Structure 1
Amino acid sequence: MFVPKLYKSEDRQLMKEIISENAFALLISSADKIRATHSMMILNEDDPENPYIETHISKANPQAKVLNNGSEVLCDFLGAHTYISSSWYDHMNVSTWNYEAVQIYGTVELMTQEELYSHLEKLTLKYEKAQKCPVLVNDMGKDFVEKEMKGAFGVKIIPTEIFIQQKLSQNRKENDYQNIIRELEKGDSNAKTIAEKMQQLNT
């Protein structure tokens, strides 16, 4: 990912937030041809000094058939994003897009059955705990879960490069910056989120 210096972030907490809030991300590989699969991802921080990404895809997916231990992949997370109109400036300029994104390049380690089971437990807990009547992996019974696991291909992605981008109109003068925020506050949820991020960045 090309990240201009002005928009580059080293904030690992921001990275964690983007991954957690936008976990349905792209797993991209190019072993035989370029392949990309949207999949649910979790940041594993059991060892805080060496976090990695966990995900799984269908065994029937052609991408699963070309991923092996040591394969190089890219995990692409797009956070909040919104259109920025050139009409919001006090001078002639071009329109653009504000956004937050994380890209993690890494090498694959295939999950063991035990690791895949644990991964599915964590993934289910994350999204089921807010439900009125949550159904967790333990509620399904081990035999049922292991039967369903036969169709899943679990991988760990060990990071080799991490890019965090926060493009929030940092190149605009204060008057335009504040006007962009005011206009975004009138928009949809993504626009409002970017407005809030811009406010935080400017404090």
Structure 2
Amino acid sequence: MYIPPHFAENRPDELHRIIAAHPLGILVTHGEAGLDANHIPFEFDPDIGEHGLLTAHVARANDVWQRCPTGTPVMVIFRGAQAYISPNWYPSKHEAHRQVPTWNYEVVHAHGTLTIRDDERFLRGLVARLTRRHEAAEPQPWKMGDAPPDFIDGMLRNIVGIEIAVTSLVGKSKLSQNKEARDRQGAADELAKRHHDELAQAMHKASQA
């Protein structure tokens, strides 16, 4: 990934925030058939290992877990907030007309080593944790116990678990850091008007750093 120095995101807390806020990762693998990408919701524990541990599951019918056995190097892409930026949002544009359109975004690339976890106990715990997290905001959160045991058992047999021991996190936050303060403010304000609140807040935060 091309990262100019002013867009580099090296702060662990920010990298972890982006992953936590946008857990649907893109698992990128490479094998005899070439490149492949799978879109998977991940659980991330930053306190396990040197750079954290990613866990997820895939359908048993998805042959990625057979094509990429334990020990395979992989990458997971977590794309955070993103939006188009119009040059009209920069105050300086209306003076000198020397601005062009761009796109602001946050992204994290997690590099690591894959481990296949094809065991029911691991899968049951993983699914329970993912469910608790993503159901937490519901008025009546769904839980595994709401479904018949034999149904849950059958569903668990149809998935395979994966773990990725993260060896490095590479982040990029393109938030108009290369622009004047007034132009950053103008773009962030316009994003907020268009309900891109997360990206607007990230731009404000970057301006204060």
- When the two structures are superposed, what TM-score results if normalisation uses the length of structure 2? 0.87
Q: Which runs of 4+ in 1 moved over 4 A?
A: none
- Residues in 1 aligned to 2:145 and 2:4: alpha-carbon distance in whole angstroms: 46
Per the TM alignment, residue 99 of structure 1 is displaced from its structure 2 partner at its CA by 0.7
**CA shift digits 1:129-182 (9 cap, x unpaired):** 222222212444654433211111210011122111111000001222222122
Per the TM alignment, residue 48 of structure 1 is displaced from its structure 2 partner at its CA by 6.9
Are the aligned partners of 2:118 and 2:160 in contact in 1 as well (CA < 8 Å)?
no
What does residue 182 of structure 1 align with? 189
Are the aligned partners of 1:28 and 1:36 in contact in 2 as well (CA < 8 Å)?
yes
Equivalent residue in structure 1 for 2:132, among 125, 138, 147 = 125
- Residues in 1 aligned to 2:104 and 2:51: alpha-carbon distance in whole angstroms: 30
What does residue 147 of structure 1 align with? 154
**CA shift digits 1:97-154 (9 cap, x unpaired):** 1111111011101124222221111111111222222221244465443321111121
Tell me whether 69-78 or 176-185 shows the greater mean CA deviation.
176-185
- Residues in 2 aligned to 1:48 and 1:64: alpha-carbon distance in whole angstroms: 22
Equivalenced residue count is 201
Alignment of 1:154-173 (within 5 A): 154-173=161-180
* Structure 1: gaps spanning 5 or more residues: none
- Residues in 1 aligned to 2:79 and 2:48: alpha-carbon distance in whole angstroms: 25
What does residue 195 of structure 1 align with? 200
- 1:39 and 2:40 matched: yes
- Residues in 2 aligned to 1:29 and 1:97: alpha-carbon distance in whole angstroms: 27
* Structure 2: gaps spanning 5 or more residues: none
Among the aligned pairs, what percent are the same residue? 28
What does residue 53 of structure 2 align with? 52
What does residue 6 of structure 1 align with? 6
RMSD over aligned CA atoms reads 1.9
**CA shift digits 1:50-80 (9 cap, x unpaired):** 5210111111113233121001111111101
Tell me whether 58-67 or 77-86 shows the greater mean CA deviation.
58-67
- When the two structures are superposed, what TM-score results if normalisation uses the length of structure 1? 0.90
Per the TM alignment, residue 46 of structure 1 is displaced from its structure 2 partner at its CA by 5.6
